[in-house]
Structure 1
């Protein structure tokens, strides 16, 4: 009769610390990936704004070629900037 085999521990070719290293490396890679995604989103937003500004500038240039007296109507961002400037002026007054 064959005696049952009793496992003593992991086989010598398996490193018990390797799993911990893999988990730690995966955590760091995931953190770096999340940080890079956030940076990429910020760059995409900046590029989107620049593209919109470029398109607006080209449209204004085209309108000026057609009509030299063309003035661009204020956009929502311009109105917000004007409102913020007015608020800052009013706040600076000594009541």
Structure 2
């Protein structure tokens, strides 16, 4: 039953992912991940949370603009971990 998973339509076909892994975020609306058990696309805020972006960050107002920004972002926790190692006292 694919409705138990994360679903993403791609140019190469349909990707079905386990719930502990989230597919890449892209700007094309038809390729936005679908939360199968909720039968809906992910929201802008849910997309931001996959990148560990805090809720107080203001995202672009439209879905395409928000996912363009999110798709080009890097997980903030990963950036912090790398920076912490590079900038040691």
TM-score range, shorter chain: under 0.3
Normalised to the residue count of structure 1, the TM-score between the two structures is: 0.27
Higher strand share: 2
| Greater RCO (CA < 8 Å, at least 6 residues apart) | 2
Normalised to the residue count of structure 2, the TM-score between the two structures is: 0.28
Whose radius of gyration is greater, 1 or 2? 1
Higher helix share: 1
